[in-house]
Amino acid sequence: MLSNLKGKRLYSILNSKCPRCHEGDFHLTNNPYDLKNFGKNHEKCSECEYRFEKEPGFFYGAMYVSYGLAIAFSVAIGVAILVLFPSATYVVYIAAILLVIVGTMPLTFRLSRVIWMNLFQHFDPKALQNDQTKN
């Protein structure tokens, strides 16, 4: 998906790939709605051996990203209701926003972790070359 973005952070984020080499998968499963495994991820990149969790508790910071995504979704839903249904009551706004936030929770959870990782690691085109010279 979006192979012309390879080398950009957006590629890693949208494809849940390793932030350093953009090759290895981050999540164990590609389906965010596999509720048994949606939060599980590989410990290291299968291609360049990049350690995803840089330190214990590293992914707690992803909660800030998750909060930001939830606010963005809420505002988008609020504006959509305002434009599409101008006479809607506040109950409709609250119900729609809650439905969307709860419904997209597995997606937001996964996305926020990948975004958080990408804030601290940029693409390194030599990551795979360096790894191959080690072996």
Tokens of 79: 């504006």
Residue selected from 13, 21, 65, 114 as contacting Zn ion according to rule CB under 5 A:
21
Residue 17 phi, psi dihedral angles, 5° rounding: -105, 165
Shortest distance, CB of residue 111 to Zn ion, whole angstroms? 18
**Considering only CA atoms, which of 95, 106, 41, 36 is closest in space to residue 69?**
106
Window 45 to 64, contacts with Zn ion (CB under 5 A): 45, 47-48, 50
What is the Cα–Cα distance from 12 to 7, expressed in whole angstroms?
8
User: Binding to Zn ion by residue 114, rule CB under 5 A?
Assistant: no
Residue located via tokens 């012309």: 4
Shortest distance, CB of residue 42 to Zn ion, whole angstroms? 10
Toward Zn ion, which CB reaches closer, 12 or 112? 12
What is the Cα–Cα distance from 107 to 34, expressed in whole angstroms?
11
Toward Zn ion, which CB reaches closer, 20 or 110? 20
| Residues in touch with Zn ion (CB under 5 A) | 18, 20-21, 24, 45, 47-48, 50
